[in-house]
């Protein structure tokens, strides 16, 4: 699981550099990603 988190962090920062995003914008995007994943899990798993 640790390797997944490391991979995810590297991908987020790589995309932020590609799209020229600030740290605040990355924070908002990852927050929205978490909400989306939570909704999908609740809808299809529980």
What does each of the 46 residues of the chain score in pLDDT, given as a tens digit?
889 989 988 999 999 999 999 999 999 999 999 999 999 999 998 7
Measured CA to CA, the distance from residue 17 to residue 46 in angstroms comes to: 36
Domain range list for the chain: 2-44
Supply the pLDDT for residue 38.
95
């Amino acid at each position: 699981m640790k390797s997944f988190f490391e991979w995810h962090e590297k991908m987020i920062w790589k995309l932020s550099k590609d799209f020229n995003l600030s740290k605040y914008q990355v924070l908002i995007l990852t927050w929205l990603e978490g909400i989306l994943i939570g909704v999908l899990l609740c809808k299809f798993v529980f």
